Amino acid sequence: MFTRFNKASVTNWINFVIAMTEKEIKTRYKHTVLGFFWILLNPLLQMAVIGFIFQFFMPVKIDNYFLFLFAGLLPWNFFSYSISKSTPCIVYERSLIQKAFFPREAIVLSIILSNFFHFLISLLLFVIILFFHAIFFEFKNVFDFGFFLVRILSLVPFLLWLTLLTSSFSLFLSALNVKFRDINFVVQAVLPLWFYATPVIFTLNILPTFLRPLFYFNPMTPIIEGFHWALLNIQPENSYLWIIGFFSSVFFLILGITTFRNESKYFDDWL
């Protein structure tokens, strides 16, 4: 990906990715009356609508289902939105690719980082809601408050994991989509399926025992479980989950980076 590993080229690479990310964020809210206010408004509306639907029409026996739903839905939405948007992105940006030599991965990463920015804001709003919820219902002494803070801070490694996994899939799929435009259709079909194969709207323990191991091979499972634990103190199913998830994520990361590296040289030939 880097042509030469010197300080100047790394700085330029970072600046370029940042500039592309800024572009992604800025262009999204151009020509809207409310402008950047949508960054806050969008997740709030989403929470209200989906929370309302699931609260009343899908009675699942989980305490505070509304909170449970959002703890999983926020990271899932980041994942699925980033992948479905980045898969065709190299094809869409063909004029850039044909114009100059620049690090091609910046196109993919800018989409992921701009989505991550929006995801962080939604998450922050959610944590504020959780905090007030905890003040009224959970905190009995100062230790409870301390534990809450520790759990929220433990989100950081999960955020990193989620972002790396999303990047791996995005790099892999966007690179292949240049040669095989079928990939985009496959992604659109598989993502909704994948959603139900991830414990976002249910917990793993409502599943029959024989089905559970299948979920362990979904690298999104440990991440969502991690969010459930960090945000809501729901204990994960078992610790194998983290180990399998970790190794499969490392595998996908290597696969994503190498595929993109090999394919990016030939992007221009196929566009």
Partner 1 sequence: MKHKKKVAVCLSKVTKTYVLHHEKPTFVENFLKRNKREKFTALSKISITFSQGEKIGIIGPNGAGKTTFLKLIAGITVPTSGNIITHGKIVSLIDLEAGFQPDLTGEENIFLNALLIGMSRKKVQEMFKEIIAFSEISSFIDSPLYTYSQGMKLRLGFSIAIHADPDILILDEAVTAGDKAFRQKAGERIKALFQTNKTILVSTHWDEFLRENCQRFIRFDSGKIIDDGSIAVLNKYSLESNN
Residue 233 phi/psi, 5-degree rounding, is 60, 40
Stretch that binds partner 1, among 50-58, 96-104, 195-203, 217-225 (CB under 8 A): 96-104
Residue 71 is given by DSSP the state H
Note whether 100 binds partner 1 by CB under 8 A.
Answer: yes
Separation CA 212–CA 216 (nearest Å): 7
| Segment interacting with partner 1 (CB under 8 A) among 25-33, 112-120, 139-147, 231-239 | 25-33
Complex with partner 1: residue 23 or 206, whichever CB lies closer: 23
By CB atoms closer than 10 A (0-12, 13-18, 19+), residue 231 is buried
* Rounded distance between C-alpha atoms, residue 118 and residue 262, angstroms: 31
Give whichever of 93 and 225 is closer to partner 1, judged by the CB atom. Answer: 93
164 by Cβ neighbours in 10 Å (0-12 / 13-18 / 19+) ranks as: middle
Kindly tell me which residue out of 97, 112, 173, 224 binds partner 1, with binding defined by CB under 8 A. Answer: 97
* Of the residues 15, 55, 154, 258, which one makes contact with partner 1 according to CB under 8 A: 15
CB of 177 to partner 1, least distance (A): 11
Asked if 38 is part of the footprint of partner 1 (rule: CB under 8 A), the reply reads no
Which residues neighbour 209 within 8 Å (Cβ) at sequence distance 6 or greater?
Answer: none
Binding letters toward partner 1, positions 171-210, x by CB under 8 A: --------xxxx----------------------------
Distances (CA, A) of 145 to 20, 23, 56, 141: 39, 39, 31, 7
Q: Given the complex with partner 1, which of 1 and 23 has the nearer CB atom? A: 23
List all residues 6 or more positions away from 188 whose beta carbon is below 8 Å from its beta carbon: 84
Q: Quick one: which of 7, 99, 140, 205 contacts partner 1 (CB under 8 A)?
A: 99
DSSP 109: H
Binds partner 1 by CB under 8 A, chosen from 2, 23, 58, 243: 23
Q: Of 6-14, 77-85, 163-171, 191-199, which segment contacts partner 1 by CB under 8 A?
A: 6-14
